[in-house]
Chains A and B, each alone.
Chain A
């Protein structure tokens, strides 16, 4: 399970003066779901194009399944499926016909191709729309058809560029769980790029944060948040009624608590800054470095206040994202990138 299927070493690609990808090194093992996360224009798509041999790197080496995609794009493309960002289909053909075309281009015999296409359409939940023209497909259906299209050639690696873009939350969740399911069933290696961190972190084994062509950090989400938020990785939120100064003190006194913020909640309370709302409800935001939620709950209940909700949140990618990409991508300035690198 530890076989490395994608090995990128010191990959660099520039467009004119702007560096799209800057000395990127990355290893992905078989069966892994890797999320390449970063804001728009970070160089994610460029990296993916180079992985498929559709674009040539300036320097550095790429090894996909033991092959160099720049030199041998055809065998690489036989074993790697790629779902481009905002995939399109031949709109006056049905979904099945579109899949059949891909299958034929991959040299799959007609009967086998038809069988496989039907099976995949069923798997992605499009069996009812198989004979509908793709022009009439919705965005979510198109993405699912795209997933089927990628899987037609029975690839070992699938690369999905922004697979969740423009789909509603339900559709997105369905698609992602489908990807995860298929990956687990067939031991597929999945590389997906996205800037929608929330959803993607749910299915990724590992993520890489990609900003301005450089990989800032990689690892699984908990370990990333541990390293990046070594000081206060946990946020515990408590909705209570009847906050007293004594309670505040006792919470602050709990071992591991770093900070306590109070904000009011409840109906009609908006705008009353700092004050308790009419019914005395407020929300405590407690940042701590270890999980002390039982102690907090005990303190609240012990002080006679009423506890409505207690929520423990580990720092997710959103926070990581904000911390790292704060301010978004500065426009232009090649020397800026150099200085920071």
Chain B
């Protein structure tokens, strides 16, 4: 995609990107409006109509306050905040070297805070990629089954609300809490970095960081949904927590190993191998890799935060020839990771749909 970027083509693509963005925004607004409206309904008190209009808002408010009051949330927040501070510290330690080594490119200093480290600790995005799932799992693994075990589920379901309201409220509330948390952390990191380095962020840097945070929220949202699904499926919170952690560990560690095994097996080694074969092989491995949400997240965030990443697949020599070694504009980076973001969203939706189906078909009895 866009190897020999003529300014004209770039402008065109940029136009598409901004159109896509506008469309996205309109979608998002459409999605958000009903939520907000029902929230207001709750605040103003309800009318007694067929279905209570504010019930969803009430449930969301209850869930959010449950999260914020809980010890678990404070602990998770503490862990994430600590890692952010730690990675910021290591990044600041090594930022001088990093800036010096790259031949005079002094752009995107602030972004480097998120992507470099002095080697003692992982980078900011590394940390978030690793611990984000833990946060999602921690917030969702007992969403439904703990209510069931406490006997509150059947009491809530006896109120005039739809069954899916409960599940939606759990998801939306957790996502709201996660969003607030990551946006806050991101902005704090940005602010601290700006203060310490003394270089104000450009608008593009700002956009990139915002989109990085949004992708992170999507990513954590996926794990949240996965854990909600397990919490619907399993009656014991411990079982669902363990299943989530198993999936998380699988994708964090074992999936890579398995892929390496497969790669060794199918790598083209015959003397007759053509370039096409190698390319096919590379592409296959890349797609296998992209099943993992971890890979999707890493690719997306790296591209967004490192503007010099031009392509995520293999590049042939011909493709590289003539390419200008300059960072991609923001719109191009966004276009490059669009499939990854779509993939993450799709995974999230699949989990949500599954938990939806499971929950709607379940019978809700006392504590059984």
Contacts and interface: CB of A to CB of B under 8 A. Distances in A.
B152 A90 contact: yes
A84 B53 contact: no
A109 B150 contact: no
Interface in B50-66: 50-55, 58-59, 62, 66
A133 to B, nearest CB: 12
Interface in B23-53: 42, 45-53
Nearest to B58: A104
Nearest to B44: A109
A108 B159 CA distance: 12
Contact of B45 (A54, A75, A107, A146): A107
Interface residues of A, number: 34
Interface in A202-257: none
B366 interface: yes
Given A88-B150, A88-B151, A101-B62, A106 B52 contact: yes
A107 B152 contact: no
A161 B159 contact: no
A106 B159 contact: yes
A105 B363 contact: no
B364 A54 contact: yes
A91 interface: yes
Nearest to B55: A105
Contacts of A77: 158-161
A107 B155 contact: no
A285 interface: no
B50 A86 contact: no
A87 B149 CA distance: 10
Contacts of B42: 104
A224 B66 CA distance: 50
A192 to B, nearest CB: 15
A208 B365 CA distance: 22
Given A75-B50, A77-B159, A77-B160, A107 B55 contact: yes
A32 interface: no
Nearest to A75: B50
A85 interface: yes
A227 B156 CA distance: 42
A84 B159 contact: no
B71 to A, nearest CB: 10
A221 B157 CA distance: 33
A136 interface: no
Contacts of A86: 151, 366-367
A81 B158 contact: yes
Nearest to B150: A88
B154 interface: yes
A78 B46 CA distance: 13
A105 B52 contact: yes
B52 A107 contact: yes
A108 B42 CA distance: 9
B69 interface: yes
Given A86-B151, A161-B366, A106 B45 contact: no
B160 A75 contact: yes
A84 B55 contact: no
A104 B39 CA distance: 12
B19 interface: no
B72 interface: no
Contacts of A91: 150
Contacts of A84: 151, 154-155, 158, 365-366
Contacts of B48: 78, 107
Interface string B56-87: 00110010001001000000000000000000
A134 to B, nearest CB: 10
A282 to B, nearest CB: 48
Interface string A11-45: 00000000000000000000000000000000001
Contacts of B69: 92
A55 B158 CA distance: 12
B317 to A, nearest CB: 63
Contacts of B46: 104, 106-109
B3 interface: no
B162 interface: yes
Given A82-B154, A86-B367, A105-B161, 16 more contacts: A49-B363, A54-B154, A55-B363, A75-B160, A81-B158, A84-B366, A87-B154, A88-B152, A89-B151, A91-B150, A104-B55, A105-B59, A105-B159, A107-B160, A109-B45, A153-B159
Interface of A: 45, 49, 52, 54-55, 73-75, 77-78, 81-82, 84-92, 101-102, 104-110, 146, 149, 153, 161
